[in-house]
Amino acid sequence: MKLVVQRVKNSNVVVEGKVIGEIGQGFMVLIGVAPTDTKEIADFLVQKLIRLRVFEDENQKMNLSIQDINGELLLISQFTLYADCNHGNRPSFIGAAGPDMANELYEYFVEQCKKQNIKKVATGEFGADMQVSLQNDGPVTIILEKN
């Protein structure tokens, strides 16, 4: 499982011209699932995400978590995080989980995030053509993985 975590001032996701998820300050997270991923890996990454201390404290040090700032989450599924471009210029996505497994773990990840003390958890739509907008704060972008 691979997460691309962006600290944002705000973010939203649009499907077919309609905003289906939006947040204020917090994390916009792209989530990729590999065939070897499990619920245990998802649980580990949920905890890592909510404890990630990248929001500034009163001394302008990155020392606060999303829970500490009462932040929000926008969770977007993205199989292209497992693109392999080592051979040629057209990516191979053989390293990504199939749609059924990926959707199951994505939905599990979302549900586990909702069980945490997070102000708001918004999502995209699995498998849809989505337009994601964000105002990156910092910018701060971190990749979290658990193989």
User: Per-residue pLDDT tens for 92-126?
Assistant: 998 999 999 999 999 999 999 999 989 999 999 99
- Global pTM reads 0.95
**Among the options 78, 109, 112, 123, which is catalytic?**
78
Angle at 90 between CA 2 and CA 104, to 5 degrees: 35
Produce one character per residue of 60-71: b if its CB has 16 or more CB atoms within 10 Å, e if not. Answer: eeeebebeeeeb
Residue 46 has pLDDT above 90, yes or no: yes
Q: Tell me the domain boundaries of the chain.
A: 2-145
Token match 């080592």: residue? 86
26-32 and 72-77 as β-strands: parallel, antiparallel, unpaired? parallel
Is 78 labeled as catalytic in the residue annotation?
yes
Q: What is the pLDDT of residues 49-91, one digit of tens each?
A: 999 999 999 999 999 999 999 999 999 999 999 999 999 899 9
**Among the options 6, 79, 112, 123, which is catalytic?**
79
pLDDT of residue 147: 63
**Among the options 36, 38, 47, 80, which is catalytic?**
80
Is 55 labeled as catalytic in the residue annotation?
no
Q: Are 15 and 76 in contact (CB under 8 A)?
A: no
Superfamily of domain 2-145: D-tyrosyl-tRNA(Tyr) deacylase (3.50.80.10)
Residue 141 has pLDDT above 70, yes or no: yes
- Average pLDDT (22-39) is 97
pLDDT of residue 146: 82
Is 80 labeled as catalytic in the residue annotation?
yes
